Amino acid sequence: MQRVIVDMDEVMADTMGGMLEWYTKEYGLPVDYSKMVGAWAPGFPEQHRATVIERLYSEGFFRHLPVMENCVEVLEEVNKKYELFIVSAATEFPNSLRDKLEWLNEHFPYLTWRQLVLCGDKRLVAGDYMFDDHTRNLVHFPGKPYLYSTIMNAHENGYDRVANWKEIADILL
């Protein structure tokens, strides 16, 4: 059975959407998406960049993120056809570990605990397909890598891209 590796943040979970919703409620200032090359923080007003980064490290931020459209349904079908693992570099944000586990259990009850990999470096994973929004996670992947398009990776080249879960379904199902 072929193995599929899927990242969480900005692939399954709308992390940027969650951050923007919080930022708009708190500050109501515009963000500059053109400055979000490789990271979000430069796109936020300078006086709030440290606060935005702090938010990523705060307990509860990752727990209540919106799910990407069609993700639940597509992954449920992928799970029937492939060996599926959800892999997140969660140890970068230590408070996210429980948040992410609870989020996954709520939204993806068909996944077992054995399919959830919360790690630091994704070079340890192998499979046939990987969907991730960071090229640093794809560059060493031995299977077929797909870059999930986001604002911060728009400048990246050299990878086949997917823009949404319907495109992933077209590839895998």
Beta bridge pairs of residue 172: none
CA distances (Å), origin 86, targets 58, 78, 104, 109, 153:
22, 12, 9, 13, 20
Q: Which of 102, 106, 142, 146 is nearest to 126 (CA)?
A: 142
Whether 99 is catalytic is: no
- By residue count, the chain amounts to 173
The one catalytic residue in 7, 99, 132, 133 is: 7
CA distances from 97 to 46, 86, 134, 154, 167 (A): 28, 13, 19, 28, 28
Which residue in the list 9, 14, 132, 133 is annotated as catalytic? 9
Other C-beta atoms within 10 Å of 75: how many? 26
Question: What gap in Å lies between CA 44 and CA 33, rounded to an integer?
Answer: 8
**CA-based angle 35:9:111, to the nearest 5?**
170
Is 7 a catalytic site residue? yes
Which residues are known catalytic residues?
Answer: 7, 9
